[in-house]
Structure 1
Amino acid sequence: MKSPVPVCLALSICISTAFAQKPDEYNGCQLREGALCADMNLNGLTLRGTDLANSQFSGSNLAKAQLREVIFDGANLTRIDLHGADLQNASLIEVDLRAANLANANLSGSEGTNANMQNVIARAANFQYVQFQGADFAGAEMALANFDGAKLQRATFRSANLKGATFRSADLRGVNFTNADLTGADLTGALVDAAMFSRAITKDCKACP
């Protein structure tokens, strides 16, 4: 005689199935192009290659999220918490990341042409080999950030804190460092043609003009 299936087990299965999240949903956020997910707790989200272009994530918590190759083109990510997040090879073209927290985040290989990064907090963030031509980093807090090999032509770092940041072999042609703090920074091998260093602090900066 077969043992009957316990009622509690069957009920448990029904409940877990009924409340299971859809693959394209996370904590109430519909993960798609044009998503409206402002001020949400999405801590630890894991995605790869998802198209979230033109979405709204302002004020949301995506700390330590895994977002490799995700497309955020034109998205509103103002005040978002992405500290410790993995954004390797992500697309951030014309994204709005004003006042975002990117401390210790990994953006290596990402593309952020004309991104708005004003007042971003990106201490010790990894920007190696990124393509952020024309991006605006004015007023950013980026001490110890790594921009080695980055393409940053015509980007703006006005009044940014770049203490100890590295730009080794980066393309800095036409970059505006006016009033930036480059104390202890390293520009060894960087291309600095037409770059502006007016009133910049360059104490102990390697290869600064």
Structure 2
Amino acid sequence: MIMGGNEMNFRTDLVCTMLFSFVALSACATSNLAAQEADQLGMTEESWSEDGGAEDGGAEDGEAEAEDTLTLTIRTDIVSGDAAIEQAKTTKLCQRCDFASADLRGLDLSGADLSNSFFSSKELADAFKTMSNLPKPFPVGADLTGANLSGANLSDALIMDAVFVGANLTGADLTGIRFVRTNMTGATLTDAKYCRTMLPGGEINSADCYTKPEGGYKQYAIKDGTDQSGSDLSNMDLSGKDFSNFNLSGANLSGSNLSGVKLADADLSNADFTGANLAGADLSGANMPNANLTDANLWKAKLDFDSMNYFIQYCRTTMVDGESMQSTGECAL
């Protein structure tokens, strides 16, 4: 890794170009994403301007707005090379480590925390930091052939041109990962956690942007009839149930598994969906003013946006595309 204290100022769309233009993506996701991935390459965000203007909110009338800029500084605290491999093997803890072009074949890294680490090639990392041309053809990144990563935390790692052939990723946390040009032939992914995870083919999987209640689900029990207003349906497994045209106004559905649930034309006003899993749910025509979707998962949900033009509380809400998260107003931790 190249280390130092030199600052670099560059257009955020250049960051997007270097990280995404050579991937089959229609557009760079967000500027914040670019900043995050730059950080994984050994840089820290020093300043960020959404509108490029002054602190008063932007350029004056008739004055051209400045371009968005991102000021990054090379990190000096990243463990890399053989030291990173040894730390990962011996302590099973190596967050924000640099595994560029590392040979990790056959290693037992089960249960290791390797979150926010970098698994691409040295050539790509160096090209990014020096703002030089990207190497082509793209060199092979970290080699994890046959590695045991069962139960490992790989969340938000940057994985490009890496090799996971025959790797064991059973129960691994793949939250926020983008597997770019990654060979995963024969890899075992049983019970792996997918949340804002971009698979090698470019598909986003967010099926697991949901945490099951501690102690398991409560016994399923619901009163008769379609009027369930004010009911406590929290921490239940209600997946696949049909609540079309139900009155669930003011109901507490927090922490519940509502994947594939039919809520078409239901009254969901003031309902609490905090931490609920609504992946694949049918919410078409639902009435949702003042509904609370804090930490909810809406991946692949069917929504009628015309019926959602009310104030709805979003906070770290995983949206329909499975990749973007939305927050409105102040977002409690």
TM-score, structure 1 as length reference: 0.48
- The structure whose residues are more often strand, as a share, is 2
**Larger CA Rg, structure 1 vs 2:** 2
TM-score, structure 2 as length reference: 0.31
